[in-house]
């Protein structure tokens, strides 16, 4: 049986390295590639994606998994090889449903569609992206069909990426969260507003990056196994546990969003850097789901980066970087970076409205998939939802329906939900951390994040994909997914800031 395990590992090493190569092709496309490279790059990404998919979903892998499953059962649930066989089987059963040619076609479309979107967005030109989005919807529906039978067409897409929840369950969970958020938001809207005028002014990008690099270095982001580049859209990506990169962006006239976006991506990256090195190269050496990934990125961005303890240490450094803040007391600054204000841009949203942005995208994705919404009507539907959910109407499509890269470079359905599920899980995990280390935020006031880093590494990161999201959540919290910790945290934090 050892030799069959070695055979499996040898195939998985190849698919791991092929997948990493696809990520490099994408990273380069987003950060360094000249525009002339775009057509060939689309072909390269599509080809490598197909080769990886063919190899991973081959009959041989299926046979090896069948042979090895009883062996894995005997090893005991927590044995690494058992975890490897189990995680591979889960992926195999999902991915095997999708033909390799379809993967190639879809990836080629995404690469092309991304380039079209990147050029059309600054021009506010929805007409140009519309046929690409329509094609994406066709492809996404076809993709969803591979997961039949289902109760709802979106089920397969949601389930495989997000905690195993069905469309109905996602909607119920989000409805519960939405009703609590709307209550909180109503109270905040009636309270005295927070002043954040001093966050607007002259904030050179290079200085913002200098500052935030110090912050994420203190968090424990390892630069010998990473780097940071400018990009259109902030993201984290990885080519091995030894090479996990982040990209970011910043406004030269506003302080805040650039810093928090960088901390967010560093959170993703530290997760991948923190995986047990022995799991590489194999499917175990990845974060377990987009939900858990977002729980980590949003935790560093919000619980740490938008928390008071962090700034008790770092605010003087920020004031030295931007002397115009010298007249602004820490408490005012803390309130300003947490100002709740319904806005148009998801990635710039405060913690209260953020999930409203996500949930409306989730709803629209599901409506597109089930046919109750047509692509041509999407800009209007977007405006209507922003008006009803956030009370504001986007003036253009650039900051409306063309805002996020997702619909233009991934399939429709299952790609947004992870953010809110991450916020929910992150609050649950943080409660578990506080139960063990009630005074951990005192560390942050000293610029010391090592206990936090170690706790997350030991409890989450190191396991990679050995446990599913649900299993991991059970291990950490003893509980299933629940919105209560997030709601309690938001009510407490913003109750304090707004004197509710």
35 binds a second copy (CB under 8 A): yes
Helices 330-337/308-321 angle, 10° precision: 110
Q: By CB under 8 A, is residue 17 in contact with a second copy?
A: yes
Residue 28 interacts with a second copy (CB under 8 A)? yes
Residues 50-89: x where in contact with a second copy by CB under 8 A, - otherwise, as a string:
-x--------------------------------------
What whole-number distance in Å separates Cα of residue 112 and Cα of residue 139?
A: 14
Residue 20 lies near a second copy (rule: CB under 8 A): yes
H helix intervals, 191-256: 205-219
Active site residues: 265
| Distance of closest approach, residue 81 Cβ to a second copy, in angstroms | 21
Q: What is the bridge-based pairing of β-strands 243-248 and 228-230?
A: parallel
- Of the pair 58, 251, the CB lying nearest a second copy is at 58
Q: Which of 6, 10, 13, 329 binds a second copy (CB under 8 A)?
A: 13
Is there binding between residue 38 and a second copy (CB under 8 A)? yes
Chosen residue from 26, 44, 140, 420 binding a second copy by CB under 8 A: 44
* Inter-CA distances, 426 with 111, 132, 156, 191, 256, Å: 32, 35, 24, 27, 21
Of 269, 272, 233, whose CA–CA distance to 249 is shortest? 233
Please state whether the peptide bond connecting residue 281 to the residue before it is cis, i.e. omega within 30 degrees of 0.
Answer: yes
38 vs 166 by CB, closer to a second copy: 38
Site membership for a second copy, residue 254 (CB under 8 A): no
Of the pair 133, 269, the CB lying nearest a second copy is at 269
Nearer to a second copy (CB atom), residue 240 or residue 276: 240
Least distance (Å) from a second copy to the CB of residue 245?
8
Q: Which stretch binds a second copy (CB under 8 A): 36-44, 312-320, 355-363, 467-475?
A: 36-44
Q: Should residue 6 be labelled a site residue for a second copy when binding is judged by CB under 8 A?
A: no
| Contact predicate 144/156, CB 8 Å | yes
323 binds a second copy (CB under 8 A): no
Q: Is 32 in the site for a second copy (CB under 8 A)?
A: yes
- Phi, psi angle pair for 421, to nearest 5°: -60, -35
Task: Give me the least distance between CB of 202 and a second copy, in Å please.
Answer: 23
Of 230, 329, 218, 231, the residue nearest 263 (C-alpha):
218
**Distance in angstroms (rounded) separating the CA atoms of residues 149 and 194:** 50
Looking at 213, 233, 239, 491, which residue binds a second copy (CB under 8 A)?
239
Length of the chain: 500
Range in contact with a second copy (rule: CB under 8 A) among 32-40, 121-129, 263-271, 397-405: 32-40
> Closest distance between a second copy and the C-beta of residue 239, in Å?
6
Cα separation of 397 and 408, whole Å?
Answer: 14
Query: What's the distance, Cα to Cα, between the start and end of the chain in Å?
Result: 63
Residue 477 CB, nearest approach to a second copy (Å): 32
Per the structure block, which two tokens stand in for 491?
């009510």
Phi first, then psi: give them for residue 146, nearest 5 degrees: -65, -15
Q: What is the DSSP letter of 499?
A: T
Q: Report, in Å, the least distance between residue 234 CB and a second copy.
A: 17
- Work out how close the CB of 215 gets to a second copy at its nearest, in angstroms, rounded to a whole number: 19
The tokens for 66 are 């069948």
| Residue 201: both structure tokens together | 């002014």
Q: Does 40 bind a second copy (CB under 8 A)?
A: yes
Contacts of 385 (CB under 8 A, 6+ apart): 360, 363, 364
* Least CB distance to a second copy at residue 264 (A): 20
For tokens 């080629």, the residue is 108
* Residue 282 near residue 12 (C-beta atoms within 8 A): yes
Nearer to a second copy, 17 or 377 (CB): 17
Question: What is the closest distance, in whole angstroms, from the C-beta atom of residue 26 to a second copy in the complex?
Answer: 11
Q: 156, 220, 226, 422: which one contacts a second copy (CB under 8 A)?
A: 226
Closer residue to a second copy, CB minimum distance, 28 or 252: 28
Site residues for a second copy, window 460-489 (CB under 8 A)? Answer: none
Size of the site for a second copy (CB under 8 A): 39
- Burial zone of 471 (CB within 10 Å; 0-12 exposed, 13-18 middle, 19+ buried): middle
438-464: b (≥16 Cβ within 10 Å) or e: eebbebbeeeebebbbebbbebbbebb
Q: Which of 7, 37, 119, 451 binds a second copy (CB under 8 A)?
A: 37
Report the SS3 class of residue 432.
helix
Using rule CB under 8 A, residue 36 touches a second copy: yes
Which member of 78, 101, 195, 222 binds a second copy (CB under 8 A)? 222
Name, in order, each residue with C-beta under 8 angstroms of 280's C-beta and a sequence gap of 6 or more. 16, 240, 241
Name which of residues 256 to 315 contact a second copy (CB under 8 A).
280-281
Q: Which of 23, 26, 87, 15 is nearest to 52 (CA)?
A: 15
Among residues 152 and 225, whose Cβ is nearest to a second copy?
A: 225
Q: Tokens 């190191």 correspond to what residue? A: 462
Least distance from C-beta 50 to a second copy, angstroms? Answer: 9
**Binding region for a second copy (CB under 8 A) out of 11-19, 180-188, 363-371, 471-479:** 11-19
Rule CB under 8 A: which residues touch a second copy? Answer: 13-14, 17-18, 20-21, 24-25, 28, 32-41, 43-44, 47-48, 51, 222-227, 229, 239-243, 245, 280-281
């Amino acid at each position: 049986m050892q030799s069959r395990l070695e055979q499996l590992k040898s195939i998985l090493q190849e698919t791991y390295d092929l997948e990493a190569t696809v990520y490099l092709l994408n990273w380069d496309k987003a950060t360094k590639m000249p525009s002339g490279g775009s057509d060939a790059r689309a072909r390269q990404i599509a080809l490598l994606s197909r080769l990886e998919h063919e190899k991973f979903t081959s009959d041989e892998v299926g046979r090896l998994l069948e042979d090895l499953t009883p062996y894995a059962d005997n090893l005991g649930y927590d044995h690494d090889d058992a975890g490897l066989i189990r995680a591979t089987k889960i992926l195999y059963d999902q991915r095997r449903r999708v033909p390799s040619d379809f993967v190639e076609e879809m990836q080629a479309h995404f690469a092309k569609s991304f380039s079209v979107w990147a050029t059309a967005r600054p021009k506010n030109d929805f007409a140009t992206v519309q046929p690409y989005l329509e094609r994406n919807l066709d492809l996404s529906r076809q993709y969803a069909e591979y997961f039949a039978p289902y109760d709802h067409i979106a089920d397969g897409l949601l389930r495989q990426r997000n905690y195993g929840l069905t469309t109905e369950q996602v909607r119920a969970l989000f409805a519960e969260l939405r009703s609590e958020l709307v209550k909180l938001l109503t109270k905040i809207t009636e309270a005295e507003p927070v002043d954040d005028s001093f966050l607007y002014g002259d904030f050179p990008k290079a200085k913002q990056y200098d500052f935030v690099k110090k912050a994420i270095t203190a968090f424990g982001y390892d630069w010998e196994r990473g780097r940071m580049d400018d990009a259109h859209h902030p993201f984290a990506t990885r080519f091995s546990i030894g090479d996990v990169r982040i990209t970011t962006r910043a406004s030269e006239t506003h302080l805040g969003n650039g810093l928090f976006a960088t901390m967010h991506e560093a959170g993703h990256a530290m997760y991948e850097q923190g995986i047990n090195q022995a799991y590489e190269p194999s499917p175990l050496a990845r974060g377990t789901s987009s939900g858990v990934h977002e729980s980590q990125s949003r935790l560093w961005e919000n619980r740490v980066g938008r928390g008071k303890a962090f700034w008790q240490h770092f605010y003087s450094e920020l004031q030295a970087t931007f002397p115009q803040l010298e007249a602004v007391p820490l408490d005012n600054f803390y309130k300003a970076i947490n100002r709740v204000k319904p806005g148009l841009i998801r990635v710039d949203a405060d913690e209260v409205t953020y999930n409203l942005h996500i949930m409306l995208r989730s709803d629209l994705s599901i409506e597109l998939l089930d046919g109750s919404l047509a692509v041509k009507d999407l800009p209007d539907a977007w405006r209507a939802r922003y008006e009803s959910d956030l009370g504001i109407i986007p003036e253009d499509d650039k900051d409306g329906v063309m805002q996020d890269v997702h619909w233009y470079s991934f399939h429709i359905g299952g790609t947004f939900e992870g953010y809110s599920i991450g916020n929910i899980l992150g609050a649950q995990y943080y409660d578990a951390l506080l139960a063990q280390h009630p005074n951990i935020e005192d560390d942050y006031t000293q610029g010391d994040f090592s206990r936090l880093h170690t706790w997350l590494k030991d409890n989450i990161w190191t396991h990679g994909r050995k446990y599913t999201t649900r299993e991991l959540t059970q291990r950490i919290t003893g509980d299933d997914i629940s919105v209560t910790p997030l709601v309690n945290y938001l009510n407490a934090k913003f109750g304090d800031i707004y004197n509710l």
